[in-house]
Structure 1
C-alpha cells in the first residue's frame, strides 16, 4: 500500500538537455542543407573531434563527467522517495491510506479545536507529527498538552498506527516563542 512518487525532476531535466542538443543539431543540419551560416559548424566540430585521440585529457574528463552524471541519475532513480500515502489500520483485509496533505489538514483542524489555539504549522514525518501552534491567551498552562492529546485522539480515530509521537510547541503572547 506504499505508493512512492515518480522521479519526475531528473527525467525532465535529462529530457530538456537532450531536447536542446537535438534542436541544435537539427537547426545546424537544416542550415547546412539550405546553405545558410550554421549555428554550430559541422566541419569545425568534426575537425576538432578527429584531432583528439582517446588518450587525451578532454576525452578522460568527458568520460568521467558522463559516468558521474549517469551514476547520479541511476541513484536518483533507485533511491526510494517519501511515501505519498500514510497507511491506515489493516482490518479484515482492507488496505487503505490517507495522503500526507489530508493528514496534515486533519491534524491542523483537530489542533484548532482547543480553545484559543490556531495551528501555524503541521509537519508529518514517518513516525511523528509536529504541531506548531499559537494562542492569544496569557494563561496557557496545559494548552500544549491539550493540543497533543486532541491530535493523538484524532490520529487514533483516523487509524494511523505508524505515528507514535506527537510533539507540540506553543507560542504565547508572553513568551513570543515555543513553550
Structure 2
C-alpha cells in the first residue's frame, strides 16, 4: 500500500482547455446555424492556415510548444509523486494497512514533545529518516537529545512501519545567563 497523490492540477487544466475549445466551437456553430456573424470566422481561419507552410517559424514554434506541453503532461502522468500513506508492517492477519504521512509525523511530534525539558519540537519524517529539531530553555541539556531519540524510536516501534527509519535529533538550547 503506497498511495500516491492524484494529478488533479494537470488533469483540470487539460479539461478546462478542452472544454473551452469545445464551447467555442459549439457557440460558433450555433451562430452560423442562426445566421448570426460568428465570433470566429471559418473563412478567416481557413485562409490563415492555408497561407502557412511547414517551414514557417510560427508553425515550428507552435509545434515545439505543443510537444513540450505533451511531454510535460506525460511526465506528470508517469513520474510518481510523494507517498501520502506510509505502509505499516503486516499484522497477524497479513492485512495491508498504512498511516497517513501527516498522522505519522504528528504521532512522532507528540512523542518528542512529551519529553521533559522540551519547549518546542519540529519533526521531519522523510523516507528512511526521521529528524527532530528540539528547542529547550534548559542550560544543562545533558541527555535531552538522547531522551527525545528514545521517545521517538519507541513511538516508531509502536506504530510499526514497514521500513524502520533512522532517528536523529538536533538540540537548540537557550544561552546560559
Above 0.5 in TM-score? yes
Matched, 1:12 2:12: yes
- Give the whole-Å Cα distance in 1 for the aligned partners of 2:2 and 2:161: 13
| Residue 88, structure 1, aligned to residue 103, structure 2 | no
Alignment RMSD, CA only? 2.2
Q: Does 98-107 or 11-20 show the bigger shift?
A: 11-20
Q: 2:128 is matched with which residue?
A: 127
Quote how far apart the aligned CAs of 1:98 are. Answer: 0.9
Task: Name the SS of the counterpart of 1:117 in structure 2.
Answer: coil
Contact 1:111 1:147 (C-alpha < 8 Å) held by counterparts: yes
Deviations 1:110-131 (A, max 9, x none): 0011012144422211111122
Runs of 5+ consecutive residues of structure 1 not aligned to the other structure: none
Using the alignment, how far apart are the partners of 1:127 and 1:99 within structure 2? 16
Q: Identify if the C-alpha distance between structure 1 residues 136 and 30 changes in structure 2 by more than 3 Å, giving closer, same or farther.
A: farther
Partners of 1:119 and 1:155 in 2: CA distance? 20
Matches of residues 31-50 of structure 1 in structure 2 within 5 Å? Answer: 31=31, 33=34, 35-36=36-37, 38=39, 40-50=40-50
What does residue 73 of structure 1 align with? 73
Q: Distance in 2 between matches of 1:37 and 1:85?
A: 51
Deviation at 1:16, TM superposition (A): 2.0
- C-alpha displacement at 1:28, in angstroms? 4.3
Give the 3 Å change call, closer, same or farther, for CA 153–37 of structure 1 in structure 2.
same
Matched length: 174
5+ residue gaps, structure 2: none
Tell me the equivalent position of 1:170: 171
